[in-house]
């Protein structure tokens, strides 16, 4: 695999992700951006997920905070829901638990902020999450 020898350093990887996020991703069901446009370290990000149809999450807009430490992307980012949500991999304070969310628990350098959001959205539609009772729409952790 070509990527095996050329490693894109953290900052340039995040700049690429920032540019991709600014252009908009796919059908717009997930999106993300940086919190402060002068944060040289590019640590704090906000993502949104539009709940998948045919689930209890249908049409809800979920906001999340994503923290990319200096070790990103070698290590997984920390992900926390701001919007209240009831999911098997989300703790009672909104934190996405890496032990219950495979992508974060078995992180791979090729994963991106987009992958995190897309996989979380898929998780919402999984059999254990699609019908879970949800807190009122729009409430925050």
Partner 1 sequence: MAGQAQLPRRIVKETQRLLSEPAPGISASPSEENLRYFNVMILGPQASPYEGGLYKLELFLPEDYPMAAPKVRFLTKIYHPNIDKLGRICLDILKDKWSPALQIRTVLLSIQALLSAPNPDDPLAENVAKHWKENEVEAVQTAKEWTRLYAQHP
Segment interacting with partner 1 (CB under 8 A) among 11-19, 23-31, 49-57, 99-107: 11-19
Site for partner 1 in 16-55 (CB under 8 A): 18, 37-40, 42
Cross-strand partners of 95: 80
What's the min distance (Å) between Cβ of 46 and partner 1? 16
Which residue's CB is nearer to partner 1, number 27 or number 38? 38
Backbone angles phi, psi at 46, to 5 degrees: -120, 130
Give yes or no for residue 8 binding partner 1 (CB under 8 A): yes
Give yes or no for residue 110 binding partner 1 (CB under 8 A): no
The first and second tokens of residue 14, run together, are 């995040």
Give yes or no for residue 15 binding partner 1 (CB under 8 A): yes
Give yes or no for residue 1 binding partner 1 (CB under 8 A): no
What's the min distance (Å) between Cβ of 14 and partner 1? 10
- Please answer whether residues 55 and 133 qualify as being in contact, where contact means their C-beta atoms are separated by less than 8 angstroms: no
* Interacting residues toward partner 1 by CB under 8 A: 2-3, 5-9, 11-12, 15, 18, 37-40, 42
């Amino acid at each position: 695999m070509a990527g095996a020898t050329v490693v894109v350093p953290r900052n340039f990887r995040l700049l690429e992700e920032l540019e991709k996020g600014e252009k908009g991703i796919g059908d717009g069901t997930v999106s993300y951006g940086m919190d402060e446009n002068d944060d040289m370290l590019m640590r704090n990000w906000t993502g949104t997920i539009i709940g998948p149809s045919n689930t209890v999450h249908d049409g809800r807009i979920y906001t999340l905070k994503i923290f990319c430490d200096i070790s990103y992307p070698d290590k997984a980012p920390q992900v926390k829901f701001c919007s209240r949500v009831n999911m098997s991999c989300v703790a009672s304070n909104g934190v996405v638990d890496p032990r219950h969310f495979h992508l974060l628990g078995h992180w791979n350098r090729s994963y991106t902020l987009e992958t995190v959001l897309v996989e979380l959205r898929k998780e919402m539609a999984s059999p254990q999450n699609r019908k879970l009772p949800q807190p009122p729409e729009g409430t925050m952790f």
